[in-house]
């Protein structure tokens, strides 16, 4: 039965590439509206380096010198439903803090995935997210992260 599930996941999974920070502000079109990630200048006393806003209202904060994000939509211009965001708050040599923004929920939510995960890529299904870190596949579902075997016929 697990091999049938693996084949299903491999067929249904959408693969996404990281989008890294580089500009002072990035805007992403989501199911809930415009998500903006903006550089804070100067850095706030509590260490905030990026403010994340949804439709102009506070949504989240990043504390690292850079971030990367993975969106669940592979179609350019299509609004995204979920984003995995890596906050490199420990510097470039330490694993990132990882969160998931779920815009399918009303109201949209920020879910903590891991405070020490260096994501290589992400695959998506309707019910789960499969981040890969250091060649190991994980599954994030129902608010929990656990190790997972990669889908049998998954492609990089």
Inside any domain, residue 56: yes
Distance CA 107, CA 47 (A): 27
Contacts of 59 (CB under 8 A, 6+ apart): 35, 52, 53, 101, 108, 110
Please check whether residue 65 lies inside any domain of the structure. yes
Residue ranges making up the domain that contains 79: 17-119
Q: Is the residue at 97 inside a domain?
A: yes
> Does a structural domain hold residue 156?
no
- Helix, strand and coil content of the chain, in percent to the nearest 5, comes to 5, 50, 45
pLDDT in tens, 44-97: 888 889 999 999 999 999 998 889 999 997 677 789 999 999 998 866 567 789
Q: What is the pLDDT of residue 74?
A: 66
Residue 1: inside a domain: no
Q: Is residue 12 helix, strand or coil?
A: helix
Q: Say how many domains are in the chain.
A: 1
* Residue 108 within a domain: yes
- Cβ burial of 129 (10 Å; 0-12, 13-18, 19+) is buried
The verdict on residue 58 lying in a domain is yes
Residue 126: pLDDT band (50, 70, 90) is confident
**In this structure, is residue 44 part of a structural domain?**
yes
> Could you tell me the pTM of the whole model?
0.80
Give pLDDT, residue 11. Answer: 36
């Amino acid at each position: 039965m697990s091999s049938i599930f693996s084949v299903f996941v491999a067929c249904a999974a959408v693969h996404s590439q990281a989008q890294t920070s580089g500009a002072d502000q990035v805007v992403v079109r989501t199911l809930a509206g415009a998500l903006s990630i903006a550089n804070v200048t100067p850095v706030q006393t509590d260490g905030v380096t990026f403010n994340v806003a949804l439709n102009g209202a506070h949504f989240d904060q990043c504390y690292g010198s850079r971030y990367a994000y993975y969106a669940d939509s592979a179609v350019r211009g299509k609004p995204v439903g979920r984003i995995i965001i890596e906050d490199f708050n420990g510097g470039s040599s330490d694993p990132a803090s990882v969160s998931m923004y779920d815009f399918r929920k009303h109201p949209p939510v920020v879910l903590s995935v891991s405070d020490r995960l260096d994501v290589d890529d992400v695959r998506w299904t309707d019910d789960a997210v499969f981040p890969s870190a250091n060649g190991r596949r994980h599954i994030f579902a129902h608010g929990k992260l656990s190790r997972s075997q990669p889908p049998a016929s998954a492609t990089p």
